């Protein structure tokens, strides 16, 4: 463990040791519905991934209402469709927080571009956003709860796994926006720190919805034919994944030749692909549908019953929404109100079950603890878990591998409420908290 990582671990552990002293607010007087905003694209390039999350949130809300609601009140979903347009995410987030059906919380977004668009809105209007997808880190907001993976909970462990398999050359392929670019910046620094030469790293970005993969896959094939074991690390998002994997198959690239490890391809995305030629390629997540646990089987059964589709699949971002929703419920119950300030205080330290048989805890930096898993694509469209961490890993908002952030942590508990705490100088670099 690096000295910087040790300092972060000590600082984070110290900040999380005691949660006593939080006073419970007075019960909310409102007896109307508690409104839950759902901000997911139901059209456009991201609909392939986000539509399912909207349906899952409707299921979770329906289940909670049948169980008696929350604080004696029913939950009312307010669904928006930002249509894969980042500016619409911001516009619709503002509508959710100020309109006639003003919501108490928002569950939504997939891409970091959309989250970056929403961030200033939820901060300005003091809303709450639960964000369920892996992201690039290098951000901390008092108004966002990051229930997907930070780089140290997905990207770094995936590279470590591939290094252990003898990989020496790295093709970093991503969609052209903030998440792939920042994640690859971290990965390049990490690879070079581990002795990988510049010539052994290939980086390429393509637009959302990109479909003409022939020349890029050909370059990857040539890159991997130069005597060193090569892997693709994929941060390709949305429906561009379908033609990408199809082109791999067209050019005869097998996992035994050049394995692909993807950070944005799960069971839902594989439903649109002939997976037979892709057997052996990989994905790094914190949950797979194939994990063996009673909680997982119960969740799958509920999802199949809700959708009426015996072949319905579940995936990692769905588990993140499951965890985030249950954390929010528990925090509201403990606070006795949906008041944003009270919920923000009450949720730190909240622990709820995950779907792999363990538990997730909300840390002071608004990230959660998660296991890390590497899954191998099977011919039935599922993943077989080939590796996982022995314990859960706490998400790190700021990367150890970038000079500007290696000494930073965030702690959103009173009285500090700091998103950029320099643990070398013990100085809060950003009074507002966000970078």
CA dihedral 149, 150, 151, 156 (to 10 degrees): -60
Residues of the chain below pLDDT 50: 1-3, 6-7, 9-29, 432-435
Rounded to two decimals, the pTM is: 0.88
Residue 228 placed within a domain: yes
Q: Does 39 reside within a domain?
A: no
Q: Report the pLDDT value the prediction gives residue 10, as an integer from 0 to 100.
A: 40
Domain count, the chain: 1
Is 87 inside a domain boundary?
no
pLDDT tens figures, 137-160? 999 999 999 999 999 999 999 999
Q: What is the pLDDT of residue 264?
A: 86
Q: Residue 305 domain-assigned?
A: no
Alpha-helical regions (H) of 17-110 = 47-66, 86-98
Does residue 269 sit within a domain?
Answer: yes
Other beta carbons within 10 angstroms of residue 422's beta carbon come to 14
The answer to whether residue 295 is domain-embedded is: no
Residue 268 lies inside a defined structural domain of this protein = yes
**Tokens standing for residue 232:** 């693709």
> What SS3 class is residue 376?
strand
Domain span including residue 268? 152-285
Residue 20 lies in a domain: no
User: Could you tell me the CATH number of the domain that includes residue 221?
Assistant: 3.40.50.2300
Q: Which of 346, 338, 340 is CA-nearest to residue 24?
A: 346
Q: Would the CA dihedral through 428, 430, 432, 435 be positive or negative?
A: negative
Which residues are registered as beta bridge partners of 283?
Answer: 262, 375
pLDDT at 266: 87
State the Cα angle at 192 between 190 and 198, rounded to 5°.
Answer: 135
Contact 143, 123 (CB under 8 A): yes
């Amino acid at each position: 463990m690096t000295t910087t990582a040790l300092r972060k671990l000590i600082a984070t552990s110290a900040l999380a040791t005691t949660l006593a002293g939080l006073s419970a607010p007075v019960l909310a007087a409102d007896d109307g519905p508690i409104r839950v905003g759902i901000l997911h694209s139901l059209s456009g390039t991201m609909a392939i991934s986000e539509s399912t999350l909207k349906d899952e949130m409707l299921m979770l809300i329906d289940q909670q209402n049948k169980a008696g609601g929350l604080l004696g009140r029913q939950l009312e979903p307010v669904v928006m469709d930002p249509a894969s347009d980042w500016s619409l995410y911001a516009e619709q987030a503002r509508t959710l927080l100020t309109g006639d059906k003003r919501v108490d919380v928002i569950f939504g977004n997939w891409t970091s571009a959309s989250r970056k668009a929403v961030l200033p809105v939820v901060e300005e209007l003091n809303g709450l956003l639960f964000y369920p997808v892996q992201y690039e880190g290098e951000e901390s907001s008092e108004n966002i709860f990051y229930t997907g993976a930070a780089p140290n909970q997905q990207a770094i462990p995936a590279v470590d796994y591939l290094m252990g398999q003898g990989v020496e050359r790295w093709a970093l392929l991503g969609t052209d926006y903030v998440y792939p670019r920042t994640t690859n910046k971290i990965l390049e620094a990490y690879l070079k720190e581990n002795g990988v030469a510049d010539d052994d790293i290939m980086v390429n970005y393509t637009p959302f919805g990109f479909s003409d993969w022939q020349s890029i896959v050909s370059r990857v094939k040539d890159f991997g034919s130069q005597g060193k074991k090569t892997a693709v690390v994929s941060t390709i998002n949305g429906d561009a994944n379908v033609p990408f994997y199809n082109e791999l198959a067209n050019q005869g690239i097998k996992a035994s030749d050049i394995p692909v490890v993807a950070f944005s391809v799960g069971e839902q995305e594989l439903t649109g692909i002939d997976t037979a030629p892709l057997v052996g390629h990989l994905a790094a997540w914190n949950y797979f549908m194939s994990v063996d646990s009673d909680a997982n089987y119960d969740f799958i059964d509920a999802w199949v019953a809700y959708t009426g589709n015996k072949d319905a699949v579940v995936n990692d971002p769905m588990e993140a929404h499951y965890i985030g929703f249950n954390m929010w419920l528990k925090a509201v119950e403990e606070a006795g109100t949906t008041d944003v300030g009270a919920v923000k205080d009450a949720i730190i330290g909240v622990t709820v079950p995950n779907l792999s048989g363990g538990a997730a805890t909300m840390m002071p930096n608004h990230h959660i603890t998660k296991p890390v898993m590497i899954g191998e694509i099977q011919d039935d469209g599922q993943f077989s878990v080939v590796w996982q961490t022995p314990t859960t890993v706490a998400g790190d908002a700021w990367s150890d591998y970038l000079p500007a952030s290696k000494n930073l942590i965030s702690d959103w508990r009173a009285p500090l409420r700091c998103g950029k705490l320099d643990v070398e100088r013990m100085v809060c670099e950003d009074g507002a908290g966000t970078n």
